Amino acid sequence: MDTSSDGGPAASRGKEGGGVNGDKDSLRDVIDQIHSVTSRMAAKTEAADLQISDADSNTEACVSLAARLSGLLETLTDADSTLSNELAQIPPNTQNKERKDGDGRLVRWL
Per-domain residue ranges of the chain: 27-89
pLDDT over 90 at 104, yes or no? no
Cα 75 to Cα 83: distance, rounded to the nearest angstrom? 12
Provide the pLDDT confidence category of residue 40 given band limits of 50, 70 and 90. Answer: very high
10 Å CB burial of residue 49 (0-12, 13-18, 19+) is exposed
Q: What pLDDT is attached to residue 1?
A: 47
Residue-wise pLDDT for 51-97, tens only, equals 887 777 777 888 888 999 999 999 999 999 999 999 999 888 766 55
CA dist., res. 40 & res. 35, Å (int): 9
pLDDT for res 60: 83
Question: 96: closest CA among 84, 87, 106, 109?
Answer: 109
Give the global pTM: 0.59
φ, ψ at 3 (rounded to 5°): -125, 155
